[in-house]
Amino acid sequence: MSYVSSDMQESTEPRADESAQDGLRRAIDPSQVGAERPSSREVARETVFRIENLTAYYGKAPAVRDVSFDIYGRTVTAIIGPSGCGKSTFIRCLNRMNDVIPSFRSEGKILFHDVDLQGKDVDPVSVRRRIGMVFQRPNPFPKSIFDNVAYGLRILGMKDNLGDRVEHALKRAALWDEVSNRLKDSALALSGGQQQRLCIARAIAIEPDVILLDEPASALDPIATASIEDLMHELKEDYTIVIVTHNMQQAARVANMTAFFSISGGEDGSRHGVLVEYDDTEKIFTNPSEKRTEDYVTGRFG
Ligand code: ADP
């Protein structure tokens, strides 16, 4: 493949007048989200990532241990779980973003369209070209709006029709109408929500297959969060989306599939993240198989 050898914030707290269970029921009310979120069983599943026995370490301590599951194409997959269970570590494994941390190493396999992402002949920069990432805090460069979106295109030599490519990416990120008449203005003058959509446009511009989002709305207000969530519904038509979120209602609204991670203790007293349950989002939130999942989604733990 081409990448071988050559990259409404809403509190999870229940409202004052409702229980945590009611809050979750509201979050997964089909009249709010269900119509937009077909069960992944209803759509053909194409495996994009196959994760096999992944253990990720910082130094000697495993941050996540023995994680195995498949992530499907044109689907939103949410990673949820308590703080410190390894959600960020896990999602960063999917595009080798942890490679830059000297103490990091991993065991097991991550197959991306059947290619071993950690293979010796796989160039991490090329991986990140196919698998883009958007972070918790919007991080536009101190450049113009246009130059932010064009940045990766220029580096990759995708300079033909640059203006059209930038326009297309801004339209896909639902930002074009707000910025089309000020493309030369500094990106830093945009609101937080606009900056985050700009970062999504920057990720989209280089035409990745996958977009990884690590708590993309946690620094945004409810209206900006809603627009990011709407955007995810649009983008999953064309991209595979994986999102880390601490906000269970957000997971229930946007994700087809949900992976619940939690923290387990080793015999030596160490603590590490594990995948407890992975299934259709509706099943995870209404009828989970594991008691630990039920305790978490009903607010009894975490
Ligand atoms: P989450 O995203 O679920 O909050 P993280 O993946 O950030 O969890 O962290 C999982 C564990 O890995 C935690 O114990 C955290 O302290 C540790 N960790 C995360 N990043 C690093 C790092 N760069 N160096 C050492 N330990 C880290």
Which pLDDT belongs to residue 205? Answer: 96
Rounded to an integer, the average pLDDT of 3-12 is 36
Q: Is 51 helix (H, G, I), strand (E, B) or coil?
A: strand
pTM: 0.86
Q: Which residues line ligand 1 (CB under 6 A)?
A: 58, 63, 81, 83-89, 101, 103, 273
228 belongs to a structural domain: yes
- What spacing in Å lies between the alpha carbon of 120 and ligand 1's midpoint? 25
Listing DSSP states for 113-140 in one string gives TTEETT-TTB-HHHHHHHEEEE-SS---
Query: 155-159, 180-184, 254-258, 297-301: which has the minimum mean pLDDT?
Result: 297-301
Question: What is the average per-residue pLDDT within 213-227?
Answer: 92
d(CA 243, CA 254) in angstroms, rounded, equals 9
What percent of the chain lies above the pLDDT cut of 90? 78
Please give the pLDDT value at position 154. 95
CA nearest ligand 1 atom 21, residue = 58
Would 229 be classed as within a structural domain? yes
pLDDT at residue 2 tops 90: no
In a domain, 170, yes or no: yes
Of the candidates 264, 291, 266, 288, the one whose C-alpha atom is nearest the C-alpha of residue 275 is: 264
Confidence check: pLDDT of 8 > 70: no
Q: Is residue 5 part of a domain?
A: no
Q: Check pLDDT > 60 for residue 130.
A: yes
Nearest-CA residue for ligand 1 atom 10 is 86
188-217: average pLDDT: 96
User: How far apart are the CA of 119 and the centre of ligand 1, in A?
Assistant: 24
For the chain, the average pLDDT equals 87
Choice from 54, 65, 89, 100 to test ligand 1 binding pocket (greatest atom count within 8 A of CB) = 89
- Which residue's CA is the nearest one to ligand 1's atom 5? 86
Q: Does residue 15 fall inside a structural domain?
A: no
Question: How far, in Å, is the centroid of ligand 1 from the Cα of 282?
Answer: 28
The domain that holds 214 is classified in CATH as 3.40.50.300
Specify the number of domains making up the chain.
Answer: 1
Q: Per residue in 104-117, pLDDT tens?
A: 999 999 999 999 99
Which residue CA neighbors atom 26 of ligand 1 most closely?
58
Nearest CA, atom 12, ligand 1: 63
Does the pLDDT value for residue 184 go beyond 80?
Answer: yes
pLDDT-derived band at 271, boundaries 50, 70, 90 = very high
Ligand 1 atom 14, closest CA: 84
Is 6 inside any structural domain? no
Ligand 1 geometric centre to CA of 83 (Å)? 9
Range of the domain at 153: 20-297
Q: What is the pLDDT confidence band of residue 269, given thresholds at 50, 70 and 90?
A: confident
What average pLDDT does range 161-174 have in this prediction?
Answer: 96
CB atoms within 10 A of CB 107: 13
Among 27-41, 189-203, 265-279, top mean pLDDT goes to 189-203
In this predicted structure, what is the pLDDT of residue 7?
33
Would 11 be classed as within a structural domain? no
Angle value at C-alpha 47, between 278 and 218, nearest 5 degrees? 55
Please determine, for residue 12, whether its predicted confidence score (pLDDT) is greater than 90.
Answer: no
Residue 278 near residue 70 (C-beta atoms within 8 A): no
> Is 13 within the bounds of a domain?
no
Taking the CA of residue 85 as reference, the ligand 1 atom at the shortest distance is 3
Q: Which of 15, 73, 21, 14 is nearest to 47 (CA)?
A: 73
pLDDT (tens digit per residue) in 42-54: 556 899 999 999 9
The region, left, alpha or beta by phi > 0 then psi within -120 to 50, assigned to residue 72 is: beta
- Give the closest residue (by CA) to ligand 1 atom 23: 101
Between the CA of 133 and the centroid of ligand 1 the distance, in Å, is: 18
pLDDT of residue 20: 37
Tokens describing residue 238? 């064309």
> What is the rounded average pLDDT of the residues 18-41?
41
Burial (CB count <10 Å: 0-12, 13-18, 19+), residue 153: buried
pLDDT of residue 266: 74
What local confidence, expressed as pLDDT, does residue 122 receive?
92
For residue 24, the CA-to-ligand 1 centroid distance in Å is 27
